[in-house]
Structure 1
Amino acid sequence: LAGHDLAEMAICLSAGAKAVGTGKHWIADSGVMRRVLAYARDLDVTVIAHAEDGGLTAGAVATEGETATRLGLPAAPAVAEALAIARDLMLAEETGARIHFRQVTTAAGFELIRAAKRRGVAVTCGITPAHLLLSDIAMSDFRTFAHLSPPLRDESDRRAALAAIADGTIDVIASGHDPQGPEAKRLPFADAAPGMAGAETLLPLALTLVRDGHITLDRLFRLLAAHPSAILGLDGGTLAVGAPADLLLFDDQTPWQIDGEAFASAGNTPFDGLPVQGRPLRLWKGGRAL
């Protein structure tokens, strides 16, 4: 977990693992990261990487800018993301490995991903609804539910994220589900644990992107299901004859208000109280109703 040693990847894969991950941290040692990528290439699996240069982000809880300065929060420059992406892209291109950046949130990061895709690098990236719909202004009242990893960015980066999801640069919308209990959030902002509960709100928040005209409904479900399945090498994520019947029935018009206290896990969502539309009605996994 410290990023110094490689796990027994082959053993993990034989036990059912579908990818190799760096966890919530960036591997600072380029030699270690190159070995991870080379080993994953030989095993034909994707490496899922965290994209923040730890030398810049150590101790930071926000993105450098007007909001962090006004609140007096320890902050890191947004370029920490692009620096991490640039190095890992170079290593992935050199080794021929597949790499997926679990969250890319800055304009500079998206430009690097676009350029790498044009060169034919096997790279994909994801984002959460929070980084598409919120800027760092959401931290203005020191509300720790807006303390995320990576931190919320400024409005220009948020707009760049919307452009990136519209033009196909972003491949996955993930929930970012990382619930934290009251003991981890009822602290001063700089001391609180980062993370949000995102599973219950993923669909309605993602449908906002469809209603606002950024993406089509068909593309939304590629971002939510087909692309993640393909990245992990899973047999699923699409509607096809003979494919697993993993189905969702939902009403995209149902209005409701997000209430964190009603969540199955901790209710630490920065969207608490937000009116939304769209709600799941039934789920099937492998043809069995859940």
Structure 2
Amino acid sequence: MKRLLKNVKKLSSTGELESCELLIEGTSITKIASRITERADQMIDGKGNLLAPGFIDVHIHLREPGGEHKETIFTGTNAAAKGGYTTVCAMPNTNPVPDNTTTIQNILESIKAEAVVRVLPYAAITKKLQGKELVDIKEIAQTDIFAFTDDGVGVQTADHMLQAMREAKACNKVIVAHCEDNSIVYGGVMHDGEVSKRMQMPGIPALSESVQIARDVLLAEATGCHYHVCHVSTKESVRIIRDAKRAGIHVTAEVTPHHLLLNESAITTDDANFKMNPPLRAKEDQQALLEGLLDGTIDFIATDHAPHAKEEKERGFLEAPFGIVGLENAFSLLYTYLVQTGKITLKQLIDWLTIKPAEIFQLPYGKLDVGSVADLTLIDLKKSLTIDKETFYSKGKNTPFHQWEVTAIPVLTISEGNIVYEEDLK
């Protein structure tokens, strides 16, 4: 099938908007020009909106199998499509855990049957994510898994991480790490700072993250393994990663929209929609994250989309699970509060959501070129709305951004040449 997108704009190499038309044949982009006269089976009028590569999110939670009351592959990927994402990477904290080839194969079959966008699943580093015994990395690396991680918990011993890095390096796989030293978390539920003291809540020290990153970058240097740090949240972590990169260590890192847009001062009541791990840190940490993103210390943005059931999040900070949803409004939030305020450019934002994660993980996606896979998102940069969690496609409604005003809304998402989300363009 041929689809012709007319009256759209794309970003030039210098970040300027330029008019174009684009032809899709099957799953590929076959022509990009100022005007295309070739006949097509379907013509889509883009109404002058921005056409970008489909977004890539290397850090989401789909909860299936085992947590279908929170999210499913179907609902989670529909949420991704609504947010403009065409490639998402699913974390392994499911039940059962993808720590063997049989479970991984079952998950891959469920993805094939239920997903509306591309899903690349992770495998665990340790069996059942318990940090006690390594999975068979060599055997699992032969399957279609994206990388290895115990996301949700840090790998507690240097020996386990060292062994994992050695084996991952031998298999040309990436070790992706949630960095948290449990011995200095102290049962915390929010950042150990001014707000935790005022609310008399146990705090999570910033050191619990940065000290494990410091350990791991030295292990990565010793093994030559590609080591990727999840959801960086502290200024010390940024400094360690910056120094590691300067030393030539193969370390990369991501930051979430919520850590860029919020800090601990946003928590004013016992509302667990502001409870995530790592927690919202101090204002100086928030500033360091943006600086790290701008100078290349942090490589790209990932949402850490973590849906939970409503009743779970109503338990308050002390008892509710960590995590918030993020797929459906990430672009709009970042555009509104970082691009429109002049902190970053539109081109930087698009790059951090597309080509940068693709380059880091050597994925053949995230590009708007002839011959590329037709993964596309069309964005109305002038359209505004008020975020309403009740309209989410995700089962999870746990967001700190409910009722925020945003501009720049994805209105059409195409995955491998197929329309997977479409808002009324009239």
Instruction: Please give the range of the TM-score, normalised by the shorter of the 2 chains.
Output: over 0.9
| Structure 1 position 42, deviation (Å) | 0.6
Structure of greater relative contact order (alpha carbons < 8 Å, 6+ residues apart): 2
**Contact persistence 2:137–2:164 (CA under 8 A):** no
The within-5 A match list for 1:110-149 is 110-149=238-277
- Where 1:69 maps in the other structure, the secondary structure is helix
**More displaced stretch, 250-259 vs 203-212:** 203-212
The within-5 A match list for 1:146-161 is 146-161=274-289
1:242 to 371, 379, 383: 371
- Where 2:318 maps in the other structure, the secondary structure is helix
* Match in the other structure for 2:399: 269
1:148-172 deviation line (CA, Å, top 9, x unaligned): 0101101111111121122121112
Q: Does 1:222 align with 2:326?
A: no
1:24-56 deviation line (CA, Å, top 9, x unaligned): 111111100001111111111111101121111
Q: Does 1:283 align with 2:413?
A: yes
**Contact persistence 1:210–1:217 (CA under 8 A):** yes
**Contact persistence 2:155–2:179 (CA under 8 A):** no
1:70 to 183, 198, 207: 198
* Match in the other structure for 2:361: 232
* Match in the other structure for 2:334: 206
* Match in the other structure for 1:259: 388
Q: Which has the higher strand share?
A: 2
- Give the root-mean-square deviation of aligned CA atoms: 1.3
* Match in the other structure for 1:162: 290
**Contact persistence 1:64–1:78 (CA under 8 A):** yes
- Where 2:227 maps in the other structure, the secondary structure is strand
* Match in the other structure for 1:176: 304
1:218-255 deviation line (CA, Å, top 9, x unaligned): 22122112122233332111122222111111112211
- Where 2:175 maps in the other structure, the secondary structure is strand
> What is the alpha-carbon distance in structure 1 between the residues aligned to residue 284 and residue 204 of structure 2?
16
- Where 2:354 maps in the other structure, the secondary structure is helix
> What is the alpha-carbon distance in structure 2 between the residues aligned to residue 235 and residue 58 of structure 1?
42
> What is the alpha-carbon distance in structure 2 between the residues aligned to residue 123 and residue 2 of structure 1?
24
> What is the alpha-carbon distance in structure 2 between the residues aligned to residue 15 and residue 34 of structure 1?
22
Give the residue type in structure 1 aligned to 2:377. Answer: L
> What is the alpha-carbon distance in structure 1 between the residues aligned to residue 355 and residue 173 of structure 2?
17
1:93 to 221, 239, 244: 221
1:165-187 deviation line (CA, Å, top 9, x unaligned): 22121112111200111121111
**More displaced stretch, 177-186 vs 225-234:** 225-234
1:193-214 deviation line (CA, Å, top 9, x unaligned): 1111111111111213222222
1:21 to 149, 152, 156: 149
Give the residue type in structure 2 aligned to 1:234. Answer: L
**Contact persistence 2:304–2:325 (CA under 8 A):** yes
**Contact persistence 2:186–2:203 (CA under 8 A):** no
> What is the alpha-carbon distance in structure 2 between the residues aligned to residue 10 and residue 284 of structure 1?
35
Q: Which has the higher helix share?
A: 1
The TM-score, its normalising length taken from structure 2, stands at 0.66
* Match in the other structure for 1:194: 322
**More displaced stretch, 11-20 vs 113-122:** 11-20
1:41-80 deviation line (CA, Å, top 9, x unaligned): 1111111101121111142111111100110111121121
**Contact persistence 1:166–1:214 (CA under 8 A):** no
Give the residue type in structure 2 aligned to 1:274. Answer: W
- Where 1:190 maps in the other structure, the secondary structure is coil
Give the residue type in structure 1 aligned to 2:416. Answer: G
**More displaced stretch, 52-61 vs 128-137:** 52-61
The within-5 A match list for 1:3-42 is 3-42=131-170
**More displaced stretch, 120-129 vs 229-238:** 229-238
- The sequence identity of aligned pairs, in percent, is 35
Give the residue type in structure 1 aligned to 2:419. Answer: A
* Match in the other structure for 1:54: 182
**Contact persistence 1:179–1:266 (CA under 8 A):** yes
The total of aligned residue pairs comes to 290
> What is the alpha-carbon distance in structure 2 between the residues aligned to residue 241 and residue 34 of structure 1?
42
The TM-score, its normalising length taken from structure 1, stands at 0.96
**More displaced stretch, 12-21 vs 196-205:** 12-21
Task: Give unpaired runs (5+ residues) of structure 1.
Answer: none
> What is the alpha-carbon distance in structure 1 between the residues aligned to residue 177 and residue 191 of structure 2?
20
> What is the alpha-carbon distance in structure 1 between the residues aligned to residue 238 and residue 145 of structure 2?
28
